[in-house]
Structure 1
Amino acid sequence: MDYDELFVGMENTSPLLTTFGGGPGNSLYQNIVTIETDAGAFDDVVSTDTPWTGDVIHYDLGSGLVTTKIDSIASLTGTVTFNDGATWTSELLVVQDTAGNAFLLVRDTQPELASQGIESVTFTSVNSTNFDGVIQHSKDDLDFVCLTAGAMVATPDGPVRTDRLRRGDAVLTLDSGPQPIRWIGKRRIRFDPRPHPGQPVHIAKGAFGPGLPTRDLILSPNHRVLMQTAPCHALHDPLGALAPAKALTRLPRVRRLTGRREITYFNLLLPRHEVIIADGIAVESLFPGPEAFASLDGIERADWLRIGALGGRVTGTPPARLMLTTAETRAALATGQLHPPATAPVPLTWSGARHRPRALPAHLANRA
């Protein structure tokens, strides 16, 4: 589609104006690909090969690692069809590499693309191809979120170690009372001596205030913690916002455990995305977006489907709170507009939903 490397843009966009995915065995949620850049997990601008040499990317389509470069980027208007038949129309970005493969780019500002499995996407018009790169923010929004083995999770019978919880056990939530665990994932990760984006985040006892947390808490870097935004903040929500743990290292006594060589992570999937309590502070349960499903290995994926963990859906459920990106979290902390809650979270102890809207206000849901 991009034949002339002397000029920015695509010369022929017609191959994009069609429907991708749909039909038995061809659902897009079954074809999620993780693209790694040479920037790793850090912020960077990933350039196309016009007019520069282009940044290297890596991915695996199932036949081994592919190393190539970004050739061109297109902004298109398209309609996404989810696996429950719902549709959503918006501006979408497509990245083509020098091997001729095209990828739909899931952006931090489009949580709708993570709400459930995508069946197909139909592109109807081209807005622009005049891009010479794409900004990569630190990976955050859609990755697996995990607790470690020693974290104490609030249940109707008191705090229980994560590694002692079983499928069917109930945990307390801030909004929906006791909720059963539908699925538990367990993964042991080993790190080499170099810094690794998967290394955990350590929140020291009392880092957020007296008893917050009640003991040292270790989370995966992408696990989101409930924070409070200042009323003047552009993304203020009185119910709070979920911020990735790795972005909270600006706070005193919160740091990356770069010396750890091995850790075991646990993922707790509930009937819907919820705010739970671990070691006295509010954190999220597993958000079942398509990236989480794609991160499962074959056995885990088969188990997820076999038990009907999400009531017939492969992925989906609305987020329990506004979910901030790493960049948004760091910016809000730097300006004093984001801070830990001053008091301990109070869960519902009965099985009834607290009255609060599941849909985000328009000015938050549509943020760019």
Structure 2
Amino acid sequence: MLLPALPEFELAFNAFARGTLLATPSGFSAIEDLAPGDLVLTREFGPQPLTWIGSLTHVPNAPVWRQELARLVRFLPDALGVDRPHSNLLLGPGARLWQSTSEGGVFVPAHRFLDGETALEISPTTPVDLFHVMTKRHATLSAAHLGVESYHPGLQLRDRMNAANLSYF
């Protein structure tokens, strides 16, 4: 289904690149092979069904309304510790990683981990399919052994969108 190129959709559908491996009860599955109803493993709640999957195609050099929407981040294996991630992981501008703190933890945008060596900003030369997924409850998913946030629309989304566009969520 084609949707209008609105900022709300561009922000929502852009966390995981095609090929990202998400943890499921039966092992890792590529994000593009998952569908609503499939179970994914969450840090907080164990196995949870996907309620929504959105995707878009990131087109190199296409005009963007916010420059950070053009950023992709590649994490090399072991970039954030042993087996974290366990393989190359390409994330879109909407990806936020779980970072433990003394008070629990917070989600941090993937681009904040850029170091020029093991976490690299990528400018692809060909289109890249990006996805995001939602569970009934906001949760931390395992993408190649890194904790990554499930999509959360925020409370203000309903105030910014009309009923027709909101129905796509």
Q: TM-score range by the shorter chain?
A: 0.7 to 0.9
Aligned to 1:197, the other structure's residue is in SS state: helix
One-letter code aligned to 2:68 = P
Q: Residue 167 of structure 1 contacts residue 183 of structure 1 at CA under 8 Å; is this kept in 2?
A: yes
TM score, norm. by length of structure 1: 0.38
Structure 2 residue 79 is the aligned partner of structure 1 residue 207: yes
Q: Deviations over 1:304-323 (max 9, x none)?
A: 3xxxxxxxxxxxxxxxxxxx
Q: Residue 193 of structure 1 contacts residue 261 of structure 1 at CA under 8 Å; is this kept in 2?
A: no
Aligned to 1:227, the other structure's residue is in SS state: strand
Q: Aligned pairs, how many? A: 157
Aligned to 2:90, the other structure's residue is in SS state: strand
One-letter code aligned to 1:289 = G
1:337-348 equivalence runs, <5 A: none
The equivalent position to 2:123 in structure 1, one of 258, 274, 280, is: 258
Q: CA deviation at 1:296?
A: 8.6
Q: Residue 141 of structure 2 contacts residue 149 of structure 2 at CA under 8 Å; is this kept in 1?
A: yes
Q: CA deviation at 1:292?
A: 6.0
Matched with 1:357 is none
Structure 2 residue 144 is the aligned partner of structure 1 residue 279: yes
Matched with 1:216 is 88
User: In structure 2, what is the Cα distance between the partners aligned to 1:190 and 1:159?
Assistant: 27
Structure 2 residue 57 is the aligned partner of structure 1 residue 188: yes
1:1-368 equivalence runs, <5 A: 143-144=11-12, 145-192=14-61, 196-198=67-69, 199-229=71-101, 236-237=102-103, 239-250=104-115, 252-290=117-155, 301-304=166-169
Change (3 A) 1:291 1:251: farther
Q: Residue 60 of structure 2 contacts residue 124 of structure 2 at CA under 8 Å; is this kept in 1?
A: no
User: In structure 2, what is the Cα distance between the partners aligned to 1:270 and 1:227?
Assistant: 20
Q: Highest Rg: 1 or 2? A: 1
Q: Residue 77 of structure 2 contacts residue 83 of structure 2 at CA under 8 Å; is this kept in 1?
A: yes
User: In structure 1, what is the Cα distance between the partners aligned to 2:124 and 2:92?
Assistant: 14
Which structure 2 residue ranges, 5 or more long, are not aligned? 1-5
Higher relative CO (Cα under 8 Å, sequence separation at least 6) belongs to: 2
Aligned to 1:178, the other structure's residue is in SS state: strand
Aligned to 1:272, the other structure's residue is in SS state: coil
* Segments ≥4 residues shifted beyond 4 Å: 193-196, 290-300
Change (3 A) 1:292 1:149: farther
Which structure 1 residue ranges, 5 or more long, are not aligned? 1-32, 35-142, 230-235, 305-368
TM score, norm. by length of structure 2: 0.79
Q: CA deviation at 1:266?
A: 0.8
Higher strand residue share: 2
User: In structure 2, what is the Cα distance between the partners aligned to 1:185 and 1:294?
Assistant: 20
User: In structure 2, what is the Cα distance between the partners aligned to 1:296 and 1:172?
Assistant: 30
Structure 1 vs Structure 2 CA RMSD: 2.9
User: In structure 2, what is the Cα distance between the partners aligned to 1:293 and 1:191?
Assistant: 30
Aligned to 2:68, the other structure's residue is in SS state: coil
